[in-house]
Amino acid sequence: MIKTRFLALVTALALLLAIPTAVLAQKQPPHQFVGAVTLDGATAADGAAVTAWVDGDKVGATTVSGGDYSLQVDQGEAAFSGKTVSFKVSGANATETATWEVGAGTILNLTGVTGSGGGSGDTGSPGAKGAVGANGPRGHQGDQGDPGADGAAGSDGSDGSDGSDGSDGSDGSDGAAGADGAAGAPGSPGADGSDGGGGLGVIALIVAIVALLAAGGSYMMGRRA
């Protein structure tokens, strides 16, 4: 029994704690804005964009229909209470503003003025690329750069023309006497002499032989003595 009462008490306590959380989790109702829309003094055309902005952020958007608009601004997870809500018509700032309130409904006629400036507008589509402009004036000459690397060796040039002959030099001094040359080859035999008398030649030859024999005998005799 005690255990059952304890479980019931715990369950009731859990339900009490869950009630504030559920209340806080409920979404707060938006602020509703309605009214007529003019742009540069004329009624805005159907389909013209109407946007709401808080702290530079877009918080709502709608379009014009029959010259009027209807726009809800829901704060979502942000806290808009007491903050200023500004409006734009087709990207032009409206002169009117309002203060955001939970669940409020406000009739607010919007007056857009083109070129009014102020906050940032919707991002437009990129424009066409412009033409290339003319070349600007030539700038000042820059500092001299570092020397470049040596280039490859060039090809050999053509041969030059032959030079003119130089003038003759002066005669040199006489050289020293050379060594004696080798012996010459034997001369050719002389011509035969003319024949002498035939008889006298024979006699002379006999006399010579006798003389030689006599001399030889004397020599031999002298050796024996």
Tens of pLDDT, residues 19-67: 444 444 457 899 999 999 999 999 999 999 999 999 999 999 999 999 9
Residues with Cβ < 8 Å from 52, sequence gap 6 or more? 33, 58, 59, 60, 61, 71, 73, 85, 86, 87
State the pLDDT confidence band at 79, using cuts at 50, 70 and 90. Answer: confident
Task: Pick the range with the lowest mean pLDDT from 85-99, 112-126, 199-213.
Answer: 112-126
14 φ, ψ to 5°?
A: -65, -40
Binning pLDDT at 50, 70 and 90, where does residue 152 land?
Answer: confident
**Gap between the Cα atoms of 205 and 197, Å rounded:** 12
Q: Cα dist. 195→58, 117, 191, 198, 199 in Å?
A: 165, 163, 12, 8, 12
Which is more confident, 127 or 103?
Answer: 103
Look at residue 223 in the predicted model and tell me its pLDDT.
67
Query: Cα separations (Å) of 95 from 48, 86, 89, 112, 217?
Result: 17, 8, 10, 7, 186
Distance CA 59, CA 3 (A): 53
In sequence order, which ranges of the chain are alpha helices (DSSP H)? 2-25, 198-224
Nearest to 40 by CA among 115, 120, 117: 115
> Domain-by-domain residue ranges, the chain?
31-112
- Does the domain made of 31-112 have the CATH classification 2.60.40.10? yes
Mapped onto helix, strand or coil, the DSSP state of residue 176 is: coil
The one-letter amino acid at 8:
A
Rounded to the nearest 10 degrees, how much is the dihedral formed by the CA atoms of 31, 32, 35, 40?
A: 50
pLDDT at residue 120, as a whole number? 43
Using CA atoms, how far apart are residues 71 and 73, in angstroms rounded to an integer?
A: 7
What pTM, to 2 d.p., does this model score? 0.43
**Is residue 46 within 8 Å of residue 65, measured between CB atoms?**
yes
Give the containing element (helix H, strand E) for 42.
strand 42-43
Q: Is the pLDDT of residue 158 over 90?
A: no
User: To 10 degrees, the CA torsion angle through 213, 214, 219, 223?
Assistant: 100
Residue from 71, 89, 58 nearest 30 by CA: 71
